Amino acid sequence: MNSLGEAFAAAWRLIAGFDAELAQVVGLSLQVSLIAVVIATLIGLPIGAMIAVGRFSGRQTLIVLLNALMGLPPVVVGLVVYLLLSRAGPLGNLGILFTPTAMVIAQTVLITPIIAALSRQIIEDAWREYDEQLRSLGARRINAAMTLIWDTRFSLLTILLAGFGRAAAEVGAVMIVGGNIAGVTRVMTTTIALETSKGDLPLALGLGIVLITLVIVLNALAAVIREMALRRYG
């Protein structure tokens, strides 16, 4: 219990002090995970939508596979991406190992299945309700997919938040492909891991509290937006 008390004190000192290093680490964490969510959505959402409204052989197998990929261990993803981007690997010439770009790539790989699988479920549930009406009005499958994405946008927003939460919270992937280089690829989670390693548990916990607070703030913001929009569109 003492450590927890120290942790909250450490967290408060961090936030109140707001030193440049912390700001840089927080900023990078947000940047990497937000960009990863955006890209994962651009890829995963259409995939989820097309599977939801589509009819093709192997569809069920694909859905099972997609759901399973949600459980990809971050450290495994990190390892695979590392091997791809290493100089000894196929994409070594790009020279992007140990950069934020590599971290974005790894996190995108991690969350795209989550976005695709969950949006597939939500859109498929909506499709059951809208199916006949949309077809009657002349919508082809691709029209239906786009219409459903827009109509389920509030539920989809929750999925994006889930994806962001997963990305911001993981340490395995970004540690391996980023290398936790001070000032370059050090993010909140890897800093927490480092401070834990050094035995500075209150500081590590304090950083953890800062991280959780940030995620809560983001979720609260999304909830407000959702409320406002629901009132407007019903």
**Interface segment toward other proteins; rule CB under 8 A; list 43-51, 58-66, 145-153, 211-219:** 145-153
- CB-count exposure of residue 86 (10 Å: 0-12, 13-18, 19+): middle
Smallest separation, CB 219 to other proteins (Å) = 19
Is residue 128 part of the contact set for other proteins (CB under 8 A)? no
Is 130 an interacting residue with respect to other proteins (CB under 8 A)?
yes
Asked if 60 touches other proteins (CB under 8 A), the answer is no
Size of site (CB under 8 A) for other proteins: 45
For residue 168, CA distances in Å to 16, 24, 55, 196, 218 come to 22, 15, 35, 18, 11
Q: Judged by CB under 8 A, which of 17, 58, 71, 183 binds other proteins?
A: 183
Distance in angstroms (rounded) separating the CA atoms of residues 19 and 3: 23
20 binds other proteins (CB under 8 A): no
Helix/strand/coil (H/E/C) assignment for every residue in 45-66: HHHHHHHHHCCCCCHHHHHHHH
For 85, half-sphere exposure in the C-beta direction (CA atoms, 13 angstrom radius) is 23
The single residue among 73, 87, 220, 228 that binds other proteins, judged by CB under 8 A, is 87
Contacts for 93 with CB less than 8 Å, ≥ 6 apart: none
Q: Is 90 in the site for other proteins (CB under 8 A)?
A: no
Integer-rounded Cα radius of gyration of the chain: 20
CB of 92 to other proteins, least distance (A): 7
Work out how close the CB of 232 gets to other proteins at its nearest, in angstroms, rounded to a whole number. Answer: 7
Q: How far is CA 81 from CA 33, 90, 231, in A?
A: 16, 11, 43
201 near other proteins, judged by CB under 8 A: yes
Binding stretches for other proteins (CB under 8 A): 24, 27, 31, 34-35, 38, 42, 86-88, 92, 95, 97-98, 100, 129-130, 132-133, 135-139, 143, 147, 150-151, 153, 179-184, 194, 196-201, 232-234
